[in-house]
Amino acid sequence: MDHKNTAAAELVRSFILINYNQLDENVVTLGLKLGNFLQEAGWFAEAEGVLRSCRNICQESLLSNFLQEAGWFAEAEGVLRSCRNICQENNLAFHWSVKALENLTERLPRSVIVDILCQASKAHVIKRQLPKAELLILQALYRSRELCKEHVYRTKFLNTLLDYAFFLLNSDAVKRSVLVYELALKLKQVLFGSENLQVAIAEDELAYALYVNEYSSGRFTESRRHAEKAIQTFKNLLPENHLLLTSAHRVKALILEEIALDSNELISVQFYKEAELLHQNALVLSLKHFGENNVQTAKHYGNIGRLYQSMQKFDEAERMQLKAIAIKEKVLGKDDYEVGLSVGHLASLYNYHMLEYHKAEKLYFRSIEINLKLFSASYSGLEYDYRGLIHVYECLENFEKMTEFTNKLSEWKILRETNELNEPECHIDYAKPSEPLGETMAKYYALCSQ
């Protein structure tokens, strides 16, 4: 890597040569290890090629029955799903996760069971099927904790903690997610030291959770510190412009934008320029790896649109948000969570800056409809929709509607406060034993039938 060799591509070519000459369980074992290595190192396309090859061996060779019995087919399905999930191929990711779950039995290696449960949980989170995601990730957490008694599996538990924090963050339990991310980071630092890729990934994920948690307070010191530490470690350990840098660049850019909003003009200009450069770099990498019609690419367009709104480049902001919405609708459908986010951002642009109040009104209602469909009436994002509509109706002098949504905002605040009071402490009962897979899958299929 230091000498710009294409190490990942060479490894894949070497594996394919072995694959053609020797079709047995040892090849599959090697392929799964290589696929996992490439995935964790961030070479997702190469990892997918190796894992597809493993899957083809399992399906097409005389070893199919043996390999499926031994659990290799389930692992190949599950890990391949994970790569697809990272690449935001959501429908395929969900398909592979379900295929892996269907192959789960207690005869599989325990670490494989944890991997598949974690990967399936993340796919269900992306589909916003949160009850199923919670069921799967909690069982993965209990099982990985049991594995922790054996030192070799300690990293499995820490990675499962990160997946659990990801679930909490996407379930609107932001404060709890921050606590779990902080715990996972501390444990990874103890295990790996500070200058480590695993630690940098945890720093990056914690930085974003802190950014979301601190959004209303405007205090971004901690989130910025973690984002900058992640970027520095990625730069020290990875090739230039590696894909893993896109996430850290995005998080730091979001933070700088928020800091700039509350800074003097000189500092604001400086921070906006740096944020724009970070967002543009992330977009270029996303286009290179995923192409135009991809959720990750759409997110970067939307982020640039929000930045341009802050920079008062309103026409460019509108163009970016419309592009983000078009891609997300094409890839995910019209009622997805990601579509709702972009619709809300465009509504804000029309409402507060372009004075297109009727357009904003229509978009706010669409955002509310998506949020209520996917979440509860206490969902945090509804606050921005209700406040936006209050402003719209104030400007349109429709005081009846303004009063209606002022009341809705008050009702939302009561629900939110009640939920926060009743929200359990972020305490994980590590002593709780995992349940048999049969019970977990019975609960899963019961949720599927609802």
**Given the structure tokens 């449960």, which residue do they identify?**
117
Cα–Cα distance for residue pair 134/139, rounded to 1 Å: 9
Cα–Cα distance for residue pair 272/285, rounded to 1 Å: 20
Environment class of 322 (CB within 10 Å of its CB; exposed 0-12, middle 13-18, buried 19+): middle
> For the CA atoms of 364, 369, 371, 377, what is the dihedral angle to 10 degrees?
100
Q: Please check the confidence at residue 119 and state whether its pLDDT lies above 60.
A: yes
Split at pLDDT 50, 70, 90, the class of 20 is low
Give the tens place of pLDDT for each residue, 313-352. Answer: 999 999 999 999 999 999 888 988 899 999 999 999 999 9
Give the tens place of pLDDT for each residue, 137-153. Answer: 999 999 998 888 766 56
CA-to-CA dists, residue 27 to 34, 60, 63, 169, angstroms: 10, 14, 11, 38
**How many beta carbons lie within 10 A of that of residue 405, not counting itself?**
22
Split at pLDDT 50, 70, 90, the class of 366 is very high
| Contact in structure between 398 and 388 (CB atoms under 8 Å) | no
Average pLDDT over residues 387-409: 95
| 3-class DSSP assignment, residue 281 | helix
Backbone angles phi, psi at 219, to 5 degrees: -105, 105
Q: Please check the confidence at residue 64 and state whether its pLDDT lies above 50.
A: no
Q: Please check the confidence at residue 125 and state whether its pLDDT lies above 70.
A: yes
Split at pLDDT 50, 70, 90, the class of 81 is very low
**Helices 221-237, 197-214: inter-axial angle, 10-degree rounding:** 160
Give the least confident one: 55-59, 134-138, 184-188: 55-59
Give the tens place of pLDDT for each residue, 167-216. Answer: 999 988 888 999 999 999 999 898 888 788 889 999 999 999 999 988 77
Cα 331 to the center of its chain, rounded Å: 16
Average pLDDT over residues 275-290: 91
Split at pLDDT 50, 70, 90, the class of 63 is very low
* Percentage, residues of the chain above pLDDT 70: 86
| Contact in structure between 215 and 258 (CB atoms under 8 Å) | yes
Q: What is the pLDDT of residue 83?
A: 44
Split at pLDDT 50, 70, 90, the class of 261 is confident
Could you tell me the maximum CA-CA distance found in the chain, to the nearest angstrom?
77
